[in-house]
Amino acid sequence: MTESAIRPDNAALIASVASVQDALGAQNYICSSQIATAVYLAWHLGKPVLVEGPPGVGKTELAKTTARMLDLSLIRLQCYEGLDEAKALYEWKYGKQLLYIQVLKEQLGEILQGAVGLKASVARLHEFGDIFFSEEFLEPRPLLRALREEGGSVLLIDEVDKADQEFESLLLEILSDFQVSIPEIGTVKAGAQKPLVFLTSNNTREISDALKRRCLHLYIPFPEPKLEQEIIRARVPEITEELRRQLVAFVQELREMDLKKVPAISETIDWARTLLLLHSEALEADLIKDTLNVILKFQDDIDTVEAELYSITGRALNRR
Amino acid sequence: MERTLANFIRALRMADVRVSTSETLDAFRTAEITGWRDRTALKQALALALPKTADEKDAFDACFEQFFRFDDFRSEGKPEDPTDASPDDDSGDEAGESGDSAAGGEGEAPGGGGGGRSSGSDAEELEELVHPGEMSGPSSELGQLLMAEDSSRLSLAIANAARDAKLEEIKVFTQKGLYTRRIMEGMGLAGLQEELGELGESTELPDRRLAAELRRRRDGLREQIRDHVERQFLLHADARGDRLREEMLRKVKLSNVEHRNFRHLRVLVQKMAKQLAAAHSRRRRVTKRGQLNVPKMLRRNMRHGGELVELAWKSTKIDRPKVYAICDVSGSMTTYARFMLMLLYSLEEVLPNVRAFAFSSDLGEVTDLFRREAIDDAIALTLKDYGGGSTDYGQAFEDFERLAGSALDNRSTLIILGDARNNFGEARTDLLRGFRDRSKRVMWLNPEPEMAWGSGDSEMRRYQAHVHQANVCNSLLHLERVVSNLLRAVT
């Protein structure tokens, strides 16, 4: 492990699972001990974490918060269909390379001064440093940048399931050995402090076994009512205790229904903020009806819930 | 501890959690970091390193709970005198349990003991036991362990003895008694029995108290070991049975599968489809049109001195192959057709352009039915609507030509599942030839062994000449192989 490179304040933060949990909590990210264990292990094993779970449970937020907690820079790579190495790994500064060729052409006479015949000229050219494919013309993209970051970084590869299968293979070298091979230059290795890597996936397709094997696998489910209340307390502290309990209970009721897209934590937080704006003290059916579009994103779902609104509200309010 | 973890991983693999060697190494390092003290922490940590899908997480949970259940040793083996109980484990549950075991011990220990004591002194012994008093120290190793009240050491000793007895190799449930005894012996039962015998000779009160207590604890221990063996049996042998059955079902001829196994087969087919889907989903191809990829083009043309000679294109294209499947669902083919349909149904995810047709004499398209209905209903309806008639391939090809003939193109693959037994009707090989010429690939899957092709009313030999590929296909293994090849070819 790379203990020597860890900043002393960070070493204390990640000394145990409990301290990680507390530190994340101090950054307003309230999480279960399972999540804290993942961060703790990822750090100590030097392994990437593949985070899966329904949308809106805080997968991306986990990486962001961890970066904040450890005071490391966050390098984010958003994946999409057609993402390739030129955008993820590195690219040559082709404009600069073209200019270099032109400059070289002009200088050619000077360089070859005194060389007689083709053979001697070529020999002279060989002596001349080959900088065409060198660091100067290299444009690092997120993955390479994360590797070269001094003092470590948090690398977030977001929604890796959106990228193509080929891209996963590209990631393998980085994730297992923390290095990148650039044919023209050689292998670039991570510095003393390896980046902490988070990959997130929404499960739109199965991630390949090879990638999974190299990662720790964290599944974040919807939170328990108690945890969700804690989260709301941390994120929207102004809201009253009673309203918080009610709205969490209501959202939990919705999650048990057969909806196209059930509300996630991010929606609960949005809703809490909405209710705060409206200066509401307690949940009422009419109020819910007016703000339902904050937590439900499909008209079908809104219709379904509206039809049963009174019974759901009743159940939610009686829930303890 | 390493062997325990290795055994645990073995159990996980039995429970269908795929654990690779590198993941095993991760698990060891994880365990090193978290340590073995805190069970929850260990579980959470291993849950990150070993299972990698939601299904596997569930299996892991169940497996872990079964495998690491040493905590229940704690409540037993405690002295019956409540004042002796340590103050920290006063939870109602545990106290109740310890009370139970104590009561059981009093009633059973003297009678059940194999030490050979005469029953006359049992009452006296009981009397002595009720009044706790001075007790001599045990001398045998196992006796000391039993009296030490150290539940973790005791469970460790059991686990060690179980390992030495190779408990993980237990295969059938009749072996449970054997393994229980072996483990007991491994823990030093002989020494304990000897000590019990000696104590029995003694007339000293403390000695006899010790003997009674030891006997009680020995029986408690036997109970615990039996439970341990039981759990390990469930963990190791049960899963192995499943594996065996699965293996068998894959190889057996589909027509010979017994009806009660259909349920298992369906699970298997779905599993297979899922694997195939994972292996073959989404292939991309760089196309030679669309937008120019300027950086790539400039770079590529550096070697030409910056003059643009070669073009590089930006767009890649997802290839969406089209698959047409024709299933013979006449009487003789029903069983095979059922599984073929099942697989086609399950494959819809991977291959969005699957069109399925069924016939015995008249052919009809069942694609919509597949999209609409649940798998069982869809297959049942297909068999009801089209099945049972006498086979007429000529008619079926004519219908297919009419329904989908014009849609066949160089991206289409046509699969025909049938035994080619045409009841001496018209073969219409000309139509089949036409299909072949227009599509990328035509495959014929025949459940009959190749020897039977062309015998009797089978037209297989003639049809074979007009398809790209003809295969025998009568078990799930065949089906899997064929479909995998198919997917590789079409995607």
The total number of residues shown for chain A amounts to: 320
Contact at CB, B284 and A166, closer than 8 angstroms: yes
Same domain assignment for residues A181 and A285: no
B300 contacts chain A (CB < 8 A): no
Q: What is the DSSP letter of B235?
A: I
Same domain assignment for residues A212 and A230: no
B303 contacts chain A (CB < 8 A): no
Q: What is the pLDDT of residues B185-207, one digit of tens each?
A: 888 888 888 888 888 787 777 88
Same domain assignment for residues A205 and A255: no
- pLDDT for res B350: 60
What is the least distance, in Å, from the CA of B26 to any CA of chain A? 8
Same domain assignment for residues A146 and A209: yes
**How far from each other are the two terminal CA atoms of chain B, in whole angstroms?**
47
The backbone torsions φ and ψ at residue B324, rounded to the nearest 5 degrees and listed phi first, read -110, 130
Same domain assignment for residues A112 and A261: no
What is the least distance, in Å, from the CA of A58 to any CA of chain B? 17
pLDDT top residue among B71 and A235? A235
CB-CB neighbors (< 8 A) of A166 in chain B: 284
| pLDDT of A49 higher than 50 | yes
A41 contacts chain B (CB < 8 A): yes
| pLDDT of B79 higher than 90 | no
Contact at CB, A82 and B302, closer than 8 angstroms: no
Within 248-267 of B, beta carbons closer than 8 Å to A belong to none
- Burial of A30 by CB count in 10 Å (0-12 exposed, 13-18 middle, 19+ buried)? buried
Contact at CB, B299 and A216, closer than 8 angstroms: no
Contact at CB, B18 and A206, closer than 8 angstroms: no
Does residue B453 sit in helix, strand or coil? coil
Average pLDDT, chain B: 74
Name the residue among A82, A86, A206 with its Cβ closest to that of B295: A86
Same domain assignment for residues A276 and A310: yes
pLDDT top residue among A127 and B132? A127
Contact at CB, A94 and B298, closer than 8 angstroms: yes
Percent of chain B residues topping a pLDDT of 70: 72
CB-CB neighbors (< 8 A) of B277 in chain A: 206
Q: Which of A219, A243, A277 is the last residue before a domain boundary?
A: A219
Does residue B290 sit in helix, strand or coil? coil
Same domain assignment for residues A233 and A310: yes
- The Cα-based distances of B232 to B62, B160, B176 in angstroms read 13, 14, 10
Q: What is the pLDDT of residues B127-176, one digit of tens each?
A: 444 455 566 677 777 877 777 777 777 878 888 888 888 877 777 667 77
Whether the Cβ atoms of residue B56 and residue B18 lie closer than 8 Å to each other: yes
Name the residue among B49, B57, B295 with its Cβ closest to that of A91: B295
Q: Which of A136, A152, A172 is the last residue before a domain boundary?
A: A136
CB-CB neighbors (< 8 A) of B295 in chain A: 86, 91-92, 94
- The Cα-based distances of B164 to B66, B142, B193, B292 in angstroms read 20, 16, 21, 68
Same domain assignment for residues A160 and A105: no
What is the least distance, in Å, from the CA of B93 to any CA of chain A? 25
| pLDDT of B475 higher than 70 | yes
pLDDT top residue among B401 and B141? B401
Does residue B457 sit in helix, strand or coil? coil
Domain that holds residue A115: 90-136
What is the pLDDT averaged over residues A58-79? 91
Q: Which of A219, A244, A265 is the last residue before a domain boundary?
A: A219
Whether the Cβ atoms of residue B455 and residue B428 lie closer than 8 Å to each other: no
A37 contacts chain B (CB < 8 A): yes
Contact at CB, A49 and B295, closer than 8 angstroms: no
Interface probe, candidates A212, A218, A220, chain B, greatest B C-beta count within 10 A: A212
Contact at CB, B22 and A49, closer than 8 angstroms: no
Name the residue among B20, B33, B47 with its Cβ closest to that of A44: B33
ipTM comes to 0.81
What is the pLDDT averaged over residues B391-417? 85
CB-CB neighbors (< 8 A) of B49 in chain A: 41, 216-217
Report the C-alpha gap between A202 and B184 in whole angstroms: 51
- pLDDT for res A197: 93
What is the pLDDT averaged over residues A7-19? 77
In the A/B pair of chains, how many CB contacts fall below 8 A?
Answer: 79
Instruction: Give, for B32, the enclosing helix (H) or strand (E).
Output: helix B21-34
Interface probe, candidates B44, B296, B316, chain A, greatest A C-beta count within 10 A: B44
Q: What is the pLDDT of residues B323-381, one digit of tens each?
A: 888 888 887 777 777 777 777 777 766 666 778 888 887 888 888 888 888 777 888 88
Q: Which of A194, A192, A159, A193 has its CA nearest to residue A88? A: A159
A209 contacts chain B (CB < 8 A): yes
- pLDDT for res A319: 67
| pLDDT of B124 higher than 80 | no
Same domain assignment for residues A213 and A246: no
- pLDDT for res A202: 85
Q: Which of B1, B274, B271 has its CA nearest to residue B155? A: B1
Same domain assignment for residues A185 and A199: yes
- pLDDT for res A48: 93
Same domain assignment for residues A301 and A252: yes
Taking each helix axis as running N to C, give the angle between helix A285-295 and helix A309-318, from 0 to 180 degrees, rounded to the nearest 10.
100
What is the least distance, in Å, from the CA of A249 to any CA of chain B? 25
pLDDT top residue among A146 and B306? A146
| pLDDT of B108 higher than 70 | no
User: Residue ranges of the alpha helices (H) in B165-292?
Assistant: 176-186, 189-201, 205-233, 239-251, 262-280
A151: left (phi over 0), alpha (psi -120 to 50) or beta: left
| pLDDT of B253 higher than 70 | no
- pLDDT for res B345: 78
Same domain assignment for residues A98 and A114: yes
Q: What is the pLDDT of residues A79-126, one digit of tens each?
A: 988 788 888 888 888 888 888 888 888 887 777 777 777 888 888 777
**Number of domains into which chain A is organized:** 3
- In DSSP terms, A155 is beta-bridged to A75, A197
What is the least distance, in Å, from the CA of B54 to any CA of chain A? 7
A101 contacts chain B (CB < 8 A): yes
Within 356-395 of B, beta carbons closer than 8 Å to A belong to none
Name the residue among B26, B295, B316 with its Cβ closest to that of A45: B26
Report the C-alpha gap between B379 and B342 in whole angstroms: 7
* Residue in the structure block whose two tokens are 């491994």: B186
